[in-house]
């Protein structure tokens, strides 16, 4: 990995107490990590900064005022009931060494279509938002976000905030409370991260500042380059020019790293194959095809499978890859009926049926499990009423108005412990005959189905339970005829996640000017940052003259 200490000061030289880049004492500070685009690296950079601070004894918490994602985690609130936050904020909480809190992500928008999203406020679904009614709902959401941040800043030394999308959405700035609206409200110094792997990083970082009004620009302190590969000497002149153009430094350059793939904020961030599969313990691989549904949710469920040696997991929409897989997974979805219709229109439903007819394993998770039913009765999510499922399991699914959001504990395959969480409106309303369950709750109640080579469950996160994951993969390999596949006896998903978080902390410490970052946290935005023209355009400004012809 390229070192960037020649760009950023060595934090070890900024301390006299023997620690590297660590703070001298607790402060009630904050920082906003904004991005030039979605998936620029805000989530991982926030987690890395959190981990760096946590390792230095700082009481630190993450915060994202508004997240738009169908990847969520279940958090038990103060009233004992389960609530949802973005999965990235749960990961960032782990980086901080604290339990996830509903206030870490007070507003979660879960897209159900291209035009509407379910609104989860402090863990509870409260409304459906569209472009038409968002402005009316915005004051309530902003107030909740501002109050949650204020409470966290009173309880923690530092709160590291993550922005949403880009702070320079000029068409949305007047209703923004997640980016510069949050920074202005809480007087947060802001750093902007750009993904150089996408190209155009200098234009996007310059443009991010140049399209903000003067008051917003006063809070933008500098930049971080993410996913750099190559010769740093070639990049350095551009960084110097960016500083001259904006009057703001680049705090460091983070290298691209192959091992940063767990807990992706957006399933679209995944490559073709998840992670970097280790060689098998036996003499055969196990191929897993996860169908990338249009409204896929909690795609992180299959990441635990990908940590196992000899298991190749890919998200795909290619029929040939689905047909060739040993195990096909229908994952969770925010829109079961709509994605089931998509599955049929693309011909993938026929591929799935052929896979099952050949006696090869199939797993449905949450919405994917519901698709396996004979019929689905949905007056809640899609409003389409009774529709035919894939008719692979002898069950019927009904959608109820009440949403199940809970953490669950039980056992499978006899006495193998398993834990997970549930987020769903649909439930099995009829089973004729009742299929053998995949899992039993701790009170003995059945959950899901395990019928020969067909498996289904409403539980997310079950494969993070190491024993359950190994037993499931062993059974899948047997059913798929992969007799040479062997599970590793010692793979720990929790340890893999900790290694990822430590890697993020290492990258921040080694490649960013952590002393300068701490100064931002402690002292706020630097004074007298220069204005970069033209600034935010006026909604009433006349259009420029364009010559005819």
Could you tell me if 372 and 390 are in contact, meaning their C-beta atoms sit under 8 angstroms apart? yes
375 catalytically annotated: no
The DSSP element (H or E) to which 42 belongs, if any, is: helix 42-54
50 catalytically annotated: no
Secondary structure (3-state) at 203:
helix
Residue for token pair 């230095």: 56
Full DSSP string of 360-399: --EEEETHHHHHTSSEEEESSSS--EEEE----SSEEEEE
Please, what's the b/e burial string for 514-547 (b: 16 or more CB within 10 A of its CB; e: otherwise)? bbbbbbbbbebbbeebeebeebbeeeeeeeeeee
Cα(130)–Cα(114) distance, integer angstroms = 9
Enumerate the β-bridge partners of residue 121. Answer: 107, 124
In the chain the first and final C-alpha atoms are separated, in Å, by 52
Cα(436)–Cα(67) distance, integer angstroms = 38
The first and second tokens of residue 522, run together, are 């402690």
- Catalytic residue, candidates 366, 424, 425, 453: 366
Cα(108)–Cα(97) distance, integer angstroms = 22
- Catalytic residue, candidates 424, 453, 458, 460: 460
Q: Is the peptide bond before 534 cis (omega within 30 degrees of 0)?
A: yes
Secondary structure (3-state) at 124:
strand
Closest CA to 496 of 464, 461, 460: 464
Closest CA to 218 of 246, 245, 258, 177: 246
Cα(163)–Cα(159) distance, integer angstroms = 13
The DSSP element (H or E) to which 61 belongs, if any, is: strand 60-63
Secondary structure (3-state) at 2:
coil
Following CA atoms 213, 218, 224, 226 in sequence, which dihedral angle do they give, to the nearest 10 degrees? -20
Cβ-proximal residues to 156 (8 Å cutoff; 6+ apart), any chain: 28, 59, 60, 61
CA distances from 399 to 92, 267, 381, 436 (A): 32, 25, 7, 22
CA distances from 421 to 407, 410, 461 (A): 4, 11, 6
Residues noted as catalytic: 366, 460
């Amino acid at each position: 990995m390229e070192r960037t200490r020649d760009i950023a000061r060595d934090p070890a030289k900024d301390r006299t107490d023997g620690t590297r880049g660590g703070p001298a004492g607790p402060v009630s500070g904050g920082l906003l990590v904004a991005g030039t685009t979605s998936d620029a690296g805000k989530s991982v950079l926030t987690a890395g900064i959190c981990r760096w601070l946590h390792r230095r004894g700082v009481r630190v918490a993450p915060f994202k005022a508004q997240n738009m994602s169908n990847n969520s985690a279940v958090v038990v609130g103060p009233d004992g009931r389960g609530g949802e936050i973005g999965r990235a904020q749960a990961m960032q909480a782990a980086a901080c060494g604290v339990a996830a809190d509903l206030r870490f992500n007070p507003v979660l928008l879960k897209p159900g279509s291209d035009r509407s999203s379910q609104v989860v406020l402090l863990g509870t679904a409260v409304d459906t938002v569209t472009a038409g009614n968002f402005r009316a709902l915005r004051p309530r959401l902003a107030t909740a976000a501002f109050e949650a941040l204020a409470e966290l800043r009173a309880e923690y030394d530092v709160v590291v905030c993550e922005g949403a999308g880009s702070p320079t959405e000029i068409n949305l700035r007047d209703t923004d409370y997640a980016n510069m609206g949050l920074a202005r409200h809480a007087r947060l110094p802001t750093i902007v991260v750009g993904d150089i792997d996408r190209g155009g990083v200098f234009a996007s970082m310059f443009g991010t500042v140049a399209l903000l009004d003067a008051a917003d620009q006063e809070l933008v302190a500098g930049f971080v380059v993410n996913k750099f590969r190559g010769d740093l000497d070639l990049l350095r002149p551009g960084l110097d020019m960016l500083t001259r153009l904006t009057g703001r430094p680049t705090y460091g350059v983070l290298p691209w790293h192959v091992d940063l793939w767990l807990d992706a904020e957006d399933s679209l961030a995944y490559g073709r194959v998840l992670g970097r599969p280790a060689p098998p313990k036996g003499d055969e691989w196990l191929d897993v095809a996860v169908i990338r549904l249009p409204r896929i949710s909690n795609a992180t469920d299959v990441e635990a499978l990908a940590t196992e040696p000899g298991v190749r997991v890919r998200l795909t929409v290619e029929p040939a890859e689905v047909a060739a897989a040993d195990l096909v997974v229908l994952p969770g979805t925010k829109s079961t009926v709509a994605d089931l219709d998509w599955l049929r229109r693309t011909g993938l439903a026929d591929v799935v049926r052929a896979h099952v007819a050949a006696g090869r394993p199939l797993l449905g998770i949450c919405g994917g499990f519901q698709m396996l039913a004979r019929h689905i009765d949905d007056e809640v999510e899609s409003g389409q009423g009774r529709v035919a499922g894939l008719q692979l399991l002898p069950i019927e699914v009904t959608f109820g108005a009440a949403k199940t959001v809970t953490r669950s504990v039980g056992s499978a395959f006899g006495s193998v412990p398993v834990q997970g969480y549930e987020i769903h409106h649909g439930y099995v309303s009829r089973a004729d005959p009742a299929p053998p369950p995949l899992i039993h709750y701790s009170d003995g109640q059945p959950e899901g189905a395990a019928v020969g080579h067909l498996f289904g469950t409403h539980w997310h996160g079950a494969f993070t339970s190491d024993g359950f994951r190994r037993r499931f993969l062993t059974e899948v390999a047997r059913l798929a005829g992969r007799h040479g596949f062997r599970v590793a006896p010692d793979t720990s998903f929790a340890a893999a996640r900790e290694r990822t978080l430590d890697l993020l902390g290492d990258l921040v410490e080694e490649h960013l000017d952590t002393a300068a970052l701490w100064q931002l946290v402690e002292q706020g935005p630097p004074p007298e940052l220069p204005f970069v023209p033209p600034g935010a355009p006026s909604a009433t400004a006349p259009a420029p003259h364009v010559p005819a012809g």
